[in-house]
A and B are shown apart, each in its own frame.
Chain A
Amino acid sequence: MAIILATVIVGASPARADSAEDHFEAVVRPLLVERCHACHAGDEAKGGLRLDLRAGLVRGGDSGPAIDPGQPPLESLLIRAVNHTDGLEMPPDGRLPQPQIEALIAWVTAGAPWPDSPESSDSPTSPQAPRQPAIEPIAPDHPSLASALQLWLRADNLALDDGAPVPVWPDASGHGRDASATKGIRPDGQGLAGSFVRESTLARRPAVRFTNATGYASSPSLPVPIKGDAPHTLVAVVNLKLHDVGNPHDGILGIGDPANPGADPGLPLATILQINRAENHALHVAGGWNHDASLGAGSFFPHYGRPTLLVAVKEPGPMRSSTRVFINGLPVAVAEGRDTIPDLRHRTDIGAFLGKAVSWSGSILGDVGEALVFSSALDDASRVGLEAWLGEKYALDLGGPHRAPRSTYTAAERAHWAYQPLFDLTLSAPHTQTAPTAIDRFLAPQIAALGLPPVPEADRATLLRRVTFDLTGLPPTPEETTAFRADTSPDAWSEVVNRLLASPHYGEQQARHWLDVVRFAETTANDANAVMTQAWRYRNWVVDACNLDLPYDRFLVEQLAGDLLPSSGDAATDAARTIATGFLMIGPKALAETDKEQSRLDIVDDQIDVTGRAFLGLTLACARCHDHKFDAVRTTDYYALAGIFRSTEPFQNEVRNASMWWEYLVPAGDGRDPIMVMAPKETLPRNLRVHLRGNRFQLGGIAPRNIPGLFSAPAVGAAGAADGDHPRTLVTSGGSGRIELARWIASEQNPLTPRVMVNRIWQQHFGRGLVATSDNFGTRGESPTHPELLDWLACRFIESGWSVKALHRLILNSAAYRRAAAPAALRQADPDGRIVASNQRRRLTAEQLRDAVLAASGGLDRVPGSDESARVLLEKAEDIGAMIKPNRLAVDDPVYTTFTKRSLYLPAVRNMLPDVLALFDAADPNGVTALRNETTVPSQALFLVNSPFVRGQALAFARSLLADASLDDRGRIDRAHARALGRHASPEEIAEALAYVAAWTESTAGQARPAETRREEAWQSWCQALLCSNEFAYLD
């Protein structure tokens, strides 16, 4: 190391800049070309590292920057790699000769001069993440602007009640040019006062609301010092509505005297930004009402109804050629105008005006948040900085240099099967005995191709146990089994299905599936693992929604944006919708993170991840740091979504250096007390900038809030693709965009949503989805085994009004569902069950196993709905005298042994699931679980054999059998089979059991305990063996 360092000093010290450049051309560039460019050049560069541009080295690849100007040269990745300092050895085919290495070191030491290399390596066709530097926002009172600032009207410094009139709008420029309504600049000025709006259509920020009679002007006694042809800049932030009242010249912002109709047309006396309704609502910058010079496309003002930033920069000279107008950061072309006037002669005795300036002029309708006048023509850097400042403040959809480059998608990306519209195939194949339903006919061809004998229907006991667990998560009662076996009517099966779908336990089972997907838990994980005492309401809402068969489109809209739906008029319904947004709240969150913004962005990431995977089967969160490696999701798309979620606030305040999430009271209706709910609140909407490499301190362009680009952008080459300057925007309301996002997801036009949901339901009933990766429908997910069936189901799902119960009914009534588990030959031919020639043997889930043990012992409390988990958690939680209560419920707390409610209602503690759940592959609530693992490990056996829970339930089971005086031992054995296994005992099993009890009792005969105790223990042991058995643990 020391030797190399010495060389560097020798090699680098005499180098001047120009000789270093020569050195680059003579030595370094040929070296890079010869030894590096084979892999590290162009858009396909390995590891994302380009060595054919200086910017490529600075930007670096997957392993970070190759050179970092702030880093000692020897620590740069480039030098470490060629030096073979550590693991990364480049070039891979052998170390460079020492002189070449030294040449590279010398070059890096000299600052890596590279003549003529662009600072950006982004070619227009590259789908790489945007890399352009962030624009630094510049406030109007920043020293670089303040000297030219002549007028600054800002609605957020008005201290008025909501709706109050604004007779005077104070000037914040420091010049005292307060704008007054009425009178104003001329004796005949007649503008009326606007009203103050606390949450306006401008990002819910304060604004002054103009009617078409509103007008303001500053006092003529403090004229704006812009004389003659002097340069100036006008800026306004507005959200205007279309109207058709009065004079068609709607002034927005102007200076000078608008009222002189110009006896001498050579002397315009004002500059006015206006909309000329008489000319198809063109935006003009006029030199007076006669628009002696005007600009604009002569087309309909394109920004009605959306927040808009207007900037007019006037240089000396004729108006058309000297004035540039920018709408939301984009230049507007000069299209027409009678720009014969060489200069403007503003009167020096008048000020600035807004809206209706004189009795006969028009005014604007809508909200004005900000209006500024500068006595200079802002240069591009200042203007863009000011635009960025206002853009951030008003969540403006800025284009041009502000915006991250619009994503493009290749034809191949668009062609991925999952993004195609649903295809509703009408079947022509006939009904047959083995294919009695449409579902079966879709499956039939692949089954036939197997060439195996058809798998028969499972026997009734097996079938009832299967469907009862599938729909309610519980075993059938002995009485239900008996009834079904005896029912010979043709409708027996569909009646069972209907009965189970109507059971209150249906919602509990269905909810458990959904809670896996939405990573439900009742603590925050991370530092405090604080108890979220209201999370149970969300869990119970899911149960209720499933039981009510809330249409799936509404189910998802309510979870994403239930708080934003118009009131239903019923307080209880409105409360439920707010509770539903607990979906956004129940994820893991860091409360004590010092970098609060980072913590918020991590929550946003979790929300994007769960939204993408739960509803759309898209791994959107992969695009946080870089464009998705495989799917058509760009970093820009990620931050477009992130803006939506960032505009929704989960935290209310800080308690002891930690953040506290939102909880608030909502009316419960029907005269009941209000209830406390955990739900987010809309906050000031904002657009995020792309975070380069996910780093919030390295910002790129703005990614306006939107749905992923693939679904909003027109196809490449298609008509309208050139509208890139004014991209379609999802969010047109003043809100976060959550409601728009939710409605897009729930739209019938979105093929992913119904496909993903019908696939989940299919997976529940066959153990495997038609798409095996049920949370990844991207290119790295599995392709559907039966694409036509998937789409057919999706179409029926939509047709039924998104009824999940109808979907269950459709699937369960197929012959396919009722078939026995796969026999050996079929398992061999189709090990994964892709062909669906049978149903699949499935192990009970952790919750089902626990519930089944309690059901068998008779100890299960089946009453649905409970807040007991929260009470248990709260009772144990540490009280640190603040709202945040760290969890203190240990994984082996006795409550996990004594709790008798269904497992769904157990306390759900992140990172501390009890054995009864964790050992049996319960979902880890730190992330989305699309499909449970099914591991088989001895620790499960140890739990079943030795844990106090199972032993205790086995004893309860035994006691309840022994207590039934109406039964003899044979009857008890048969009853035990019915309760645990849903069937009668065989004569052999009865004999075996009797022998077992006898053997046990005999072998303990010498012990001191009473015979009665030993008999009970023998039965306990036998019952426990039933609970441990494979037949108990598996559904055939």
Chain B
Amino acid sequence: MLNVPRREWLRQSACGFGHTALLGLLASEHMPGVARADGPTGSPLAAKPPHFPARAKRVVFLFMHGGISHVDSFDPKPKLAALNGQPLPLPKPKFEFAPTGNLLASPWEFRRYGQSGLEVSDLFPLIGSHADDLCVIRSMHGGDQVSHGPALLAMNTGSGVFARPSLGAWTLYGLGSENDNLPGFISLSPSLYHGGTQNYGSAFLPASFQGTRIGDGSTDFKSTRLSNLVSPEDPALERLQLDLLAARNHRHAGLAGGDPRLEARIESFEMAWRMQAEAPRVFEIERETAGTLARYGVGVEPTDEYARQCVLARRCLEAGVRFVQVNFSYPRNYWDAHGDLRNNHTTNARKVDQPIAALLADLKARGLFDDTLVIFGTEFGRTPAAQGSDGRDHHPHAFSVWMAGGGVKGGVTHGQTDEFGYYVAEGKVTMPDFHATILHLLGLDHERLTFRHAGRDHRLTDVSGTVVRDILA
């Protein structure tokens, strides 16, 4: 079951004194740090102008949990086939999760797609059909994070060690939200493990920037319900109760001499009432046409679950949600192919290939593609050398992600790994670089997007990060 509402449900909305008071309240009084933060006062969730003109207004982050093998998906390495079963002629990394053996050829063929001729393996033929829109970064580097927890946190928050705000929270902090009755940052089916809530949390940022979780990695998305958002009560009776509550609260507030905090709380109940009416309309994907649902793969296996998530993601984006993370996550869905790579990756790819391709097409058809940044990412790659006979181990030393849509070049690759895919050979992109680039596309300067906490200005990229200008359209 779902527990949709978290504290960040808050929106600004046109609602008189209570609203105004609420904004002021949230902006300063009781959130140490906000008052001292740079940026406009007012609601932390009010839409804010970017630092410079943005190329993307919103983000959909397709997160593949477990570590997709780069050399089997977006980074072809013919040398692996040529030297299959032979030792890596280079030193292996200082950090390895477990010992690995000799080089392992990819079980998949790579094909060139579109005018660009971008190479994608047979794992993702439908994503491949969008090759001319994809910008594949083949030179991602995940630092020293060789296990899932820290690697997930590094990908999502910039730090594998410390509790830091997530990418979505920073985005919301920087840009605010554009919908009054929906959360600004939604994470669909995030894993409860490997950092859990931290991966979409707000850490020291005010809680209003925290992601709202819908479903979790342990539960089939289809059975996810918006529990607290749905009243078990007859609306008329509920209104009766709310009216009683409002009357009592107003009397109390009157005696208290107009404390804005009390007004804000009165308003929060009214806002909750409106959200009960509004949010389910967005969350009911059944409102889509049968044709749309079919294109995504809703209702058929193995695509049903991720297709539902992708449809919902598009509906959220359309409704003004700033940041949607669509997780394919542990423990039910997991790319962690320590053994039987072929079976693991085939099974997983079949679940996501069609929904993602449909999402790209749908965004285009609705005119959302050009100002929506689509990110396809994973916490690390997998070793070009075999683990056991037919698996691959964790590999943060080089891996691939791709972006598409708002502000990135299509049909290109950035960076290179060596001929075995072991190390980055050119154009290394670290996690801070990756994050700096995403913020840049959103019109935010990663060095200026700061929040004062524990005596210093923190930023998503901490003390490094360089925008990968190569990939900017």
Contact = CB atoms under 8 A, between A and B. Distances in A.
B259 A841 contact: yes
Interface string B255-270: 0111101101110110
Contact of A64 (B192, B264, B464): B464
Interface stretch (B242-250, B340-348, B353-361): B242-250
B231 to A, nearest CB: 5
Interface in B92-130: 95-98
A631 interface: yes
Of the listed residues B5, B272, B454, B469, the one surrounded by the most CB atoms of chain A closer than 10 A to its CB is B454
B460 to A, nearest CB: 14
Interface stretch (A83-91, A122-130, A246-254, A748-756): A83-91
B112 to A, nearest CB: 24
Nearest to A72: B426
A1033 B161 contact: no
A94 B150 CA distance: 40
A1021 B97 CA distance: 56
A45 B5 CA distance: 48
Contacts of B96: 594
A87 B436 contact: yes
B20 to A, nearest CB: 14
A937 B455 contact: no
A137 B85 CA distance: 40
A36 interface: no
A595 B469 contact: no
A776 B163 contact: no
A619 B229 contact: no
A534 B50 CA distance: 49
Contacts of B262: 841, 1030, 1034
A1025 B464 contact: no
Given A937-B268, A1025-B248, A942 B276 contact: yes
Interface string B269-281: 1011001100000
Interface string A577-603: 000000000001010111100100010
Interface stretch (B140-148, B284-292, B299-307, B363-371): B140-148
Query: Interface on chain B toward A: helix, strand, loop, or mixed SS?
Result: loop
Interface in A231-279: none
Of the listed residues B97, B146, B207, the one surrounded by the most CB atoms of chain A closer than 10 A to its CB is B207
B466 interface: yes
B84 interface: no
B169 to A, nearest CB: 13
Of the listed residues A776, A918, A1025, the one surrounded by the most CB atoms of chain B closer than 10 A to its CB is A1025
A1029 B201 CA distance: 29
A622 B456 contact: yes
Interface string B370-412: 0000000000000000000000000000000000000000000
B38 to A, nearest CB: 16
Contact of A527 (B147, B230, B269): B147
Contacts of B272: 938-939, 941-942, 945
A598 B144 contact: yes
B7 interface: yes
Contacts of A1003: 236-237, 240
Nearest to B153: A526
B149 A824 contact: no
Contacts of B266: 1030
B283 interface: no
Interface stretch (A420-428, A444-452, A921-929): A921-929
Interface in B24-49: 25-26, 29-32
Nearest to B249: A1030
A341 interface: no
A629 B195 CA distance: 29
A479 interface: no
B421 interface: no
A780 B456 CA distance: 8
A921 to B, nearest CB: 7
B468 interface: yes
A87 B256 contact: no
Contacts of B201: 911, 924
B268 A936 contact: yes
Nearest to B264: A936
Contacts of A573: none
Contacts of A911: 192, 195-198, 201
Interface stretch (A109-117, A563-571, A725-733, A992-1000): A992-1000
A978 to B, nearest CB: 16
A463 B150 CA distance: 48
A859 interface: no
Nearest to B467: A87
Interface string B1-27: 111111111110000000000100110
Nearest to B160: A590
B315 interface: no
A275 to B, nearest CB: 47
A938 B197 contact: no
Of the listed residues A598, A772, A776, A886, the one surrounded by the most CB atoms of chain B closer than 10 A to its CB is A598
A947 interface: yes
Contacts of B229: 942, 946
Contacts of A992: 244, 247-248
Contacts of B86: none
Nearest to B149: A527
Contact of A940 (B7, B197, B206, B248): B7
A1031 interface: yes
A64 B464 CA distance: 7
Contacts of B445: 87
A937 B11 CA distance: 8
Interface in A609-637: 619, 622, 629-631
Given A1029-B245, A1029-B249, A946 B232 contact: yes
A592 B264 contact: no
Interface string A938-970: 111111011100010000000000000000000
B265 A938 contact: no
Of the listed residues A602, A824, A947, A1029, the one surrounded by the most CB atoms of chain B closer than 10 A to its CB is A1029
B67 to A, nearest CB: 14
A594 B147 contact: yes
B109 to A, nearest CB: 31
Contacts of B3: 891-892, 915
A619 B9 contact: no
A1031 B272 CA distance: 19
B244 A1022 contact: yes
B70 interface: no
Interface string B54-78: 0000000000000000000000000
A529 B245 contact: no
Nearest to B447: A87
Contacts of A593: 147, 150
A724 interface: no
A989 B251 CA distance: 10
A148 interface: no
Of the listed residues A657, A918, A1000, the one surrounded by the most CB atoms of chain B closer than 10 A to its CB is A918
Contacts of A594: 95-97, 146-147
A937 B8 contact: yes
Contact of B196 (A64, A619, A912): A912
B66 to A, nearest CB: 13
A945 B269 contact: yes
Of the listed residues A605, A843, A937, A940, the one surrounded by the most CB atoms of chain B closer than 10 A to its CB is A937
Contact of B95 (A595, A946, A1024, A1028): A595
29 contacts: A63-B463, A87-B445, A87-B447, A527-B149, A622-B455, A622-B456, A629-B455, A778-B455, A780-B455, A827-B259, A841-B261, A890-B192, A891-B192, A892-B1, A892-B3, A915-B5, A915-B228, A918-B197, A921-B7, A936-B26, A942-B5, A942-B228, A945-B238, A946-B227, A1000-B237, A1026-B248, A1030-B248, A1034-B261, A1036-B256
Given A827-B257, A886-B193, A890-B218, 5 more contacts: A926-B198, A927-B163, A937-B7, A937-B8, A943-B5
Query: Across chains A and B, which 7 residue pairs bring their CB atoms closest together, nearest first?
Result: A911-B196, A939-B5, A527-B149, A780-B455, A941-B272, A934-B30, A937-B10
